[in-house]
Amino acid sequence: MSIIIGIDPWSTTIWYAIIEKERHSIKLIDFWVISTTPKIELAYKLLEIGSDMEKLIEKYTPQKIAIERLFFTNNIKTAIDVAQCRGVIMYECIKHNLQIKEYTPLQVKKAITGNGKANKKQMQQAIKMIMKLDAIPTPDDSADALCLAYIWSLERDGNIL
């Protein structure tokens, strides 16, 4: 059995999903959002994110984390803030001896829908069907985190099955 956390990071909000894989069975354990205090400096947001990640890791004792790889954005300040956020998340994961796997949005879309250009709604519908959920996970971006965790659960020897 392994517990996998999927993380879709932004600079002020982190969406996560936690799944359990046992042999050929995959079960959704939890999904939600880590939000930071509004209107505080980034350094304090990073401290909050690190603390919340540590609590999440201690609560669920995962072995693996799948995190979205940063992709270029037109807003360089946002990209830098997200990169710092990812750094804090990765630090907490390494500190707790988790295996880390990064996926680009293109890799996630292709693995979940077979189409690297799938839109958000297509992704949400696909993961809802794959995981046999009654509804799309909300907040909506938590579906992205679920997709990240799910595709790592499919990997064997570094290749998605």
Q: What is the pLDDT of residue 43?
A: 95
pLDDT number for residue 78? 83
- CATH number for 44: 3.30.420.10
Model pLDDT, residue 64: 97
Residue 152: which of 115, 122, 108, 97 has the closest Cα?
A: 108
Please state the φ and ψ torsions of residue 105, each to the nearest 5 degrees.
-55, -40
* CB burial of residue 29 (10 Å; 0-12, 13-18, 19+): middle
Position 41 scores a pLDDT of: 94
pLDDT score recorded for residue 160: 55
In the chain, how many domains are there? 1
| pLDDT attached to residue 155 | 80
Asked if 8 and 68 count as a contact pair (C-beta separation under 8 A), the reply is yes
How confident is the chain (161 residues) per 10-residue block, as mean pLDDT? 95 93 93 93 96 97 95 78 94 97 95 94 95 89 94 74 50
Asked if 71 and 105 touch (Cβ cutoff 8 Å), the reply is yes
Return the closest-CA partner of residue 33 out of 139, 134, 121.
139
Domain that residue 84 falls in: 2-160
Cis (ω within 30 of 0) for the bond into 137?
Answer: no
Round to whole Å and give the CA distance between 114 and 116: 7
User: Which member of 52, 68, 81, 92 is catalytic?
Assistant: 68
> What does pTM read for this prediction?
0.92
Active-site residue 134, yes or no? no
Output the pLDDT for position 59.
Answer: 97
Q: What is the C-alpha to C-alpha distance for residues 91 and 98, in angstroms, rounded to an integer? A: 10
Q: Is 8 a catalytic residue?
A: yes
Contact 26, 150 (CB under 8 A): yes
- State residue 72's pLDDT score: 65
Contact 84, 46 (CB under 8 A): yes
CA distance 145 to 14: 9
Does the annotation count 102 as an active-site position?
no
Model pLDDT, residue 158: 54
pLDDT at 74 (0 to 100): 76
Token digits of residue 49: 């994110």
Report d(CA 128, CA 111) in Å as an integer. 14
Per-residue pLDDT at 159 = 56
Q: Which of 52, 81, 141, 144 is catalytic?
A: 141
DSSP 13: E
